[in-house]
Chains A and B, each alone.
Chain A
């Protein structure tokens, strides 16, 4: 695409597609605002940008100048950010068209997008099921063919898990690869902006554009943007590790069949396949659900109705204002996590919970280092323990919902890059498998994903 009329056509078509798929409740931006903005963006975009005219949706926990940033929460209803996330600035500079804000679990806390204050997002293939979360809106839009790519965010797998459930590609970069300036913080030492795409190539090119150094984020590494690798001929030379802890005896049979099929394909493509062990895997979810809520309890302390956002009034004094705003503005899951986080940081519990969880995190990161040091280039695992579950199925027991992150949280804890791609179907529902790579070696990750994507029968029953 290289001229404004094409970009304009792309913009209008994207707006039409969003309207057509309204029932999914994936895009939070109203049709009129969306169309107006897209047309203006198409006119302003630089034709020389590498993503010129590409519609890209953005998860609603990422600050944009166009459209409010609500993070799926009532406490930020109508909030207009006076600045834009670095990732979004880079997308615009590359000529992409920001195609609205997508629905998500409130403040990115959830695995189903059922915890949004703006209603749940429907799975594009089955409206009784969830698209996953927290980046469910982004995943649904990509899976429904509305946009070729969308930004999401990961703290415990919130890009890869919905990608897996919806049958699209989801990439989580190495921690520090993409600037977090403008990503509303949930678990600061775990958060990264990630990309969902209809193909490895779409997701990877968007990741390439948004990556790279940023003086506004102290945790962003001082590196050049990611350079896209070429599609390899085969997997010759790759050593792929299969961690046994991710293939427990009670793994869902369809998931196991799909993964076995992939492993056969690895061998056919010339890779060496080895079993490895990541012994502390079973403690990952517990570790995550101490550290992430702890950081969240601090990151969400700023939402109090004083300086921005709606105010939940009738307050007699400022503490009453805080308590009412936060009590009514936060949903149940967010409130639970804030309280858990406050508890594990509080005096008397800090050592047993928070400090201990930091030690566990170090052990989990060490497990990965040991595996890679032994000559493995990448690891391959299922992305999620099941296909998309039914709405309401996991709401009664919070821990049941947390366990859907069982295969994804480890990469966040270890700060490693990972990519999920569709590897089959179970009764028509998508199944995903993921590669976990070494820090800052996203190129190897993407190469392997390209190779697998080319040969895996992603839409056939496993």
Chain B
């Protein structure tokens, strides 16, 4: 019996940096402008135009590199990657080749199959984005929009470290999280600020040599990452196993993923594979970073996700799962801590955020609609017995929809619980008086009738009694 197939995947991610202007010119880098309005001689590639690098782009690239544990090289060089394509006006892309900004980093993530695993970041370098080609807008023509041309990018390349499409996706989500934390990018695959190409090969488990790799492109969402890689892996295995076990060979090529049919097809070009003829860009002196500059970027990094999660676990006594959810997004983590600082008990607040707050956010465009201080107030009211858990959820929804202070909203809705033992005692007496038979049965040993009595007290009080207090008073009265 041959050993099972093992999948080997490497990822190349292109991430747009959060700057207002482009990498080599002062045009706006904003998404969504009318076509060819954010252009100038430089990004149009006009004769005689020259590049001048964006300082913030360099800073954010360094921060990203540090957040990924890379070695940032004090001297790196811009290089030209030469090829012809309609959305590449100069006929070359300014990138980095032999001397990139950063190398030798790593990123740990939670693999669905192997627990916590570390992916190697082979390199991270700066480059400029190309424009956009639209092939379907006009018949027989390609329409070109150069607004995106020149937007700053970092390219992040991993080793062949992933053993399943699921791992690839998990890594990407973690990468997105870290880059968002570092403030480098908003990593929105829908908007194109994060794009990924994958290299996929398969081999028999136990083999050390790598199989022939195939590049997969045109993957446009995190969900499609898994699908596309699964489709390609299955295709390769089918080829290698052949019809009736005959066995073929994998051809090294580039495949394009088609989301509509969930399939991959070859990107066939008429000529041979690209020869990019990289050479150092003579229009740009070397990128030299002083030690102080690099340290400033390190200092500008916030607490990163793993460190924050570990701190939440110890500081707030949360489980690793809860801490992970709370720190998956920096805004959520900050929100949670604001609620705790406003007085909410950490574990309870955690449950509220993970359940009510995030569910509401999911349906409302990721907005955290209830202010952290209000959440803290709600949590305190439940703790103090003034609201039942159920009532509090109602108040939460109300505050999310229409705002207001939880205290006032609860009163307006008549949900404030009665925690006055005297008043509760009256209801208890009423209920016990009305159910003498059940009282006897209880005193004869049917102690589970307690919940029945509690229910009756709730009914009598129209839900206003604090059920815990009611239970206590009942127990006392029934015992006497």
Contact = CB atoms under 8 A, between A and B. Distances in A.
Contact of A215 (B52, B86, B270): B52
Contact of B47 (A76, A215, A218, A297): A76
Nearest to A300: B91
Interface string B74-94: 000000101010100111100
Interface string B34-71: 00000001001111111111000000000000000000
A86 to B, nearest CB: 10
A107 B266 CA distance: 39
Given A63-B48, A184-B48, A319-B84, A302 B89 contact: yes
Contacts, number: 99
Given A306-B86, A322-B84, A301 B283 contact: no
Chain A interface SS verdict (over half): loop
B53 A79 contact: no
Contacts of A83: 41, 46, 49
B285 A301 contact: no
Interface stretch (B274-282, B291-299, B431-439, B458-466): B274-282
Best-buried of A76, A189, A219, A302 by chain B (most CB within 10 Å): A302
A303 B92 CA distance: 12
Contacts of B45: 302, 307
A100 B80 CA distance: 34
A34 B80 CA distance: 39
A217 interface: yes
Given A83-B41, A218-B285, A304-B91, A181 B49 contact: yes
Contacts of B90: 301-302
A183 B41 CA distance: 12
Nearest to B146: A307
Contact of A181 (B48, B270, B279, B285): B48
Contact of B283 (A182, A219, A318): A219
A28 interface: no
A429 interface: no
Contacts of B277: 297-298, 342, 345-347, 350
A180 interface: yes
Interface string B246-290: 000000000000000000000000100001010100111100000
B142 interface: yes
Interface in B128-177: 142, 144
Given A82-B41, A318-B142, A301 B91 contact: yes
Chain A's interface size range is 35 or more
B197 to A, nearest CB: 21
Interface in A78-97: 79, 81-83, 85
Contacts of B47: 63, 69, 71, 76, 79, 81, 184-185, 302-303
Contact of B82 (A219, A304, A306, A345): A345
A325 B279 CA distance: 25
A298 B282 CA distance: 11
Contacts of B84: 301, 304, 319, 322
Given A185-B48, A302-B90, A347 B282 contact: no
Contacts of A183: 48
Contact of B91 (A76, A302, A347): A302
B48 A218 contact: no
A63 B284 CA distance: 21
Contacts of B91: 298, 300-302, 304
18 contacts: A184-B48, A216-B52, A217-B52, A218-B51, A218-B284, A218-B285, A219-B283, A295-B282, A297-B82, A297-B277, A298-B279, A300-B91, A302-B89, A302-B91, A307-B89, A318-B142, A322-B84, A345-B279
10 closest residue pairs by CB, A with B:
A301-B91, A189-B282, A188-B282, A345-B277, A184-B47, A182-B48, A302-B45, A63-B48, A184-B48, A302-B90
